[in-house]
Amino acid sequence: MDTVSADTPEQIQLPIGPSGAPEMPAQVTPPPSTEPEASDKPAQSARAGAPRGATPPAAASAPRPAPAAPARSEDRIPARIVLALQGVTKSYPNGRVALRGVDLTVPDGDFVFLVGPSGAGKSTVIKLLIREEIPTKGSVLLDGRDLARIKRREVPKIRRKIGIVFQDFKLLPNLTVRQNVAFALEVIGTPHREIASAVDRSLRVVGLVNQADQLPSQLSGGEQQRTAIARALVHNPRLFIADEPTGNLDPLISWEIIQLLLRINEMGVTVLMATHNAEVVTAVRKRVVALEDGRIVRDQTAAAYEREA
Ligand SMILES: Nc1ncnc2c1ncn2[C@@H]1O[C@H](COP(=O)(O)OP(=O)(O)O)[C@@H](O)[C@H]1O
Ligand SMILES: [Mg+2]
């Protein structure tokens, strides 16, 4: 599959601190044009100079006043839809109903926090998106394709649009950092000559160049998660999914991981992150979709973890 890494080799070239670690108060300037399908996507440089982190939405520093537009912090033109859930209900074989009539649309370039108590259905949304599960009712569309209708042999191709990380990293213990990342390309048949440079780029993005030859057991938790992120990025996905990625990490390291996901988002990758981490969600002020008992109870832009008065 030469499209995989030939896609946009430059996509993940970003400035990274000399230590290799993503700097906390990162004020990153995204590369000029990072999106594979640049033709149908507006340039997204509006936020380039905007500070991130616990600051108010970038709208304040936007060059022109936003008219009666909804309070979306990014001033980009309506983009293509990356994923959509339409009237999705999911019952598991044991009768457990995990999702009840969920509608959710995520445009290209969005950053979405999926929040809610344990058991609310967050991971089920993610399992539907990677087609690990099929909805009982309704449809799940990824890049316009109804995932229930694609042929089995097409599933790997569709999955390549997605990069995913989990709470428990899921690294292969006997492979080094570099080998773990390379493995993701090997299994999809990327030509050998393209693998090394793609892996290097991915390791630079997450700041692990100096740890490339270490085993997962020789890494901190944060470094293990960054390895998983490098692996999830190496095939240039357009949707990056993280299911409780900071669940096993302490607050400082969690914050570094979030900064990294924000940076990946600025590279043009749509990000969906399921999380319990209220502090991070509230500080970052992105779109928040809240699930409770299988229903979306809130969908708010530039929001806090909890509903605000
Ligand atoms: N494979 C499964 N079989 C049966 N029930 C499941 C399965 N996976 C999840 N559930 C149930 O579905 C509900 C939603 O779970 P989940 O999507 O994992 O929620 P969350 O990620 O928000 O904690 C829970 O009640 C859970 O017990
Ligand atoms: Mg979960």
CA gap 38, 31 in Å, rounded: 13
Distance 203 CA to ligand 2 centre (A): 27
Contact 302, 72 (CB under 8 A): yes
Residue 90 has pLDDT above 80, yes or no: yes
DSSP H helices, the chain, are 2-6, 122-129, 155-159, 177-186, 192-206, 221-233, 251-266, 278-284
Segment 57-67 mean pLDDT: 41
pLDDT digits (tens, 9 = 90+) for 245-279: 999 999 999 999 999 999 999 999 999 999 989 99
Entry pTM = 0.78
- Helices 177-186 and 192-206: angle between axes, nearest 10 degrees: 130
The response to whether residue 116 sits with its C-beta less than 6 Å from ligand 1 reads yes
Q: How many residues does the chain have?
A: 309
Task: Say which residue, 21 or 166, is predicted with more confidence.
Answer: 166
The response to whether residue 98 sits with its C-beta less than 6 Å from ligand 1 reads yes
CA gap 19, 224 in Å, rounded: 16
CA gap 96, 250 in Å, rounded: 32
Contact 111, 262 (CB under 8 A): yes
Residue 76 has pLDDT above 70, yes or no: no
The response to whether residue 265 sits with its C-beta less than 6 Å from ligand 1 reads no
CA gap 295, 297 in Å, rounded: 6
One-letter amino acid at 112 equals V
CA gap 164, 99 in Å, rounded: 21
Q: What does the pLDDT read at residue 25?
A: 37
Contact 127, 121 (CB under 8 A): no
Give me the residues paired with residue 140 across strands. Answer: 85
Residue 70 has pLDDT above 60, yes or no: no
Return the DSSP state at 302.
S
Task: Say which residue, 29 or 79, is predicted with more confidence.
Answer: 79
CA gap 14, 8 in Å, rounded: 13
pLDDT digits (tens, 9 = 90+) for 125-177: 999 999 999 999 999 999 999 999 999 899 988 999 999 999 999 999 999 99
pLDDT-derived band at 294, boundaries 50, 70, 90? very high
Distance 91 CA to ligand 1 centre (A): 9
Residue among 273, 190, 272 nearest 9 (CA): 190
Q: What does the pLDDT read at residue 96?
A: 97
The response to whether residue 275 sits with its C-beta less than 6 Å from ligand 1 reads no
CA gap 175, 182 in Å, rounded: 10
